Amino acid sequence: MGDLAKLLKDFGPAFLNAALITWKLTIISYSLGVLLGIVLTFLRVLPIKPLRRLVGVYVEVFRNIPTVALLIIIVFALPDLNVLIDYEPSVIVALVLVCSAFTADNLRSGINTVEAGQIEASYSLGMGLFRTMFDIVLPQALRAVVQPMTSLLIGLMLSTAIASQVPVPHRELTGLVDMINNETASGILTFGITAVFYVASGLVISWAGARLERKVRILR
């Protein structure tokens, strides 16, 4: 207990700041990823076969590539093409690409839950594809995929640990653990504190997701 108290005394503010950085990366990446995923979902239903195939390839690629490998490509390979992105934005870009692909895949499943009769009725009322998608289909699809999107948020929060692989100016939790262990050799204590934060954050997200699902779910 004495070692834990000393660690918290010496690095307590650093842990708090790292936790805030972790949540900042999570919120920014998730928000942008969901928005991009919605756009991809819309493009995927357009009656343009080459575009639908292109979006399908995008989704499959970024769903199946390890996030840390994607970060390495962005940080170390893109400069060879004269594309330079700072470290923290590189982390966000990697997370957004992965999040958008999973969002598009989740929403595709959600769209399949919408009855075809509703779409046909909206067309008969002259609403058109754009209004049908954004007024009728997507709202219901989002309500149907609350749990998958909750799991995606938890996974994205855990994936912010990839920031520890590059020298970002403000360390998130895993990066802070690496720094503290290099300086003090605190070992399991620093990992334990970080694990508590990750578990607590995941439980809060799961609780909020469950409450949201109960509130917006569609009774059939």
Residue 3 has pLDDT above 70, yes or no: no
Domains of the chain: 2-216 (1.10.3720.10)
How does residue 7 score in pLDDT terms, banded at 50, 70 and 90?
confident
Span 93-151, pLDDT tens digits: 999 999 999 999 999 888 888 887 887 788 787 777 788 888 888 888 888 899 999 99
Question: Long-range contacts of range 172-176, CB-CB < 8 Å, 24 or more positions apart?
Answer: 172/18, 172/21, 172/22, 172/25, 173/15, 173/18, 173/19, 173/21, 173/22, 173/197, 173/198, 175/18, 176/11, 176/14, 176/15, 176/18
Give me 49's structure tokens: 């076969």
pTM of the predicted protein model: 0.90
Span 58-108, pLDDT tens digits: 999 999 999 999 999 999 898 888 888 999 999 999 999 999 999 999 998
